């Protein structure tokens, strides 16, 4: 376990700017779409490029056997505390991942290889987790969170489409979920659809550039992503997913 006092991030203007407007949209509709240009200055180009390199060292996700998808994945957890402009991080013990809200995974203890600590506490990761935590705090009011951090690469091949959401339309079973595109190479498709609980018009968008993002109130919407199709022999879609649940 890591001493959280050595992993304190003081939130600068680039993290504060936009959060009120983004979270107002989340409270109103249950989600917000944030384009790369709207998050300009959130993370330096160097830190983003260093972080993106972590997707080149992912083991095969063996937990999706039998559902017709090939992907690679790592998963770890952090405790994140928001105190004004300060955000602190503590690496939590590795654990299984459960999603009992989704029939495909209900009752299954899924165990993924952990994220290396130097990646989990890298400058780029701490910046994005901090932003995600500030969004969750502004939207929900809690200041202490368990953050589940997922590095996921979906692979599309000539003989098999890539399935970002093999479970189909779903709710993840968390309080909030941040979805950050890291890479999209050699593929088409990947249309994200958000379904409001109130029966309002569904919203569709495609995350295209690194740092195109979505933040979701999991209690207010369901969502799904269409298959990705390779433009050549193969292609990939890399996502950083950060699920947030209040510390109890």
Site of tokens 């090939």:
70
Number of domains present in the structure of the chain: 1
CA pair distance 204, 218, nearest whole angstrom: 17
Tell me how crowded residue 59 is: count the other CB atoms within 10 A of its CB: 10
Domain at 124, CATH number? 2.60.120.620
Taking only the tens place, the pLDDT of each residue in 89-137 is 999 999 887 776 766 666 677 788 999 999 999 999 999 999 999 999 9
Taking only the tens place, the pLDDT of each residue in 183-204 is 999 999 999 999 998 888 899 9
**Domain, as residue range, for 117:** 4-246
Tell me how crowded residue 226 is: count the other CB atoms within 10 A of its CB: 17
CA pair distance 84, 30, nearest whole angstrom: 24
pLDDT at 7: 63
Q: 22, 34 in Cβ contact below 8 A?
A: yes
Tell whether the model's pLDDT for residue 49 goes beyond 70. yes
Q: Which two tokens stand for residue 219?
A: 């209690």
Type and span of the H or E element at 48: helix 45-52
Mean pLDDT of the chain: 88
pLDDT confidence of 20, banded at 50, 70, 90?
A: confident
């Amino acid at each position: 376990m890591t001493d959280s006092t050595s992993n304190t991030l003081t939130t600068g203007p680039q993290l504060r700017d936009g959060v009120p407007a983004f979270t107002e949209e989340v409270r109103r509709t249950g989600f917000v779409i944030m384009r790369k240009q709207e998050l300009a200055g959130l993370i330096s180009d160097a830190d983003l490029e260093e972080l993106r390199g972590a997707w080149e060292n992912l083991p095969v996700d063996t937990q999706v056997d039998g559902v017709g998808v090939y992907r690679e994945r790592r998963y770890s957890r952090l405790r994140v505390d928001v105190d004004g402009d300060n955000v602190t991080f503590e690496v939590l013990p590795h654990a299984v991942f459960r999603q009992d809200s989704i029939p495909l995974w209900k009752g299954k203890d899924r165990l993924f290889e952990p994220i290396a600590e130097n990646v989990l506490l890298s400058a780029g990761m701490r910046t994005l987790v901090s932003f995600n935590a500030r969004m969750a705090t502004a939207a929900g009011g809690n200041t202490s969170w368990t953050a589940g951090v997922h590095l996921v690469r979906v692979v599309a091949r000539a003989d098999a489409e890539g399935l970002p959401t093999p479970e189909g339309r779903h709710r993840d079973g968390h309080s909030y979920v941040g979805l950050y595109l890291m890479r999209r190479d050699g593929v088409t498709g990947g249309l994200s659809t958000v379904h409001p609980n109130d029966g309002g018009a569904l919203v569709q968008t495609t995350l295209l550039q690194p740092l195109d993002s979505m933040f979701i109130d999991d209690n207010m919407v369901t969502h799904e992503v269409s298959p990705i199709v390779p433009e050549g022999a193969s292609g990939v879609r890399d996502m950083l997913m950060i699920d947030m649940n209040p510390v109890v």
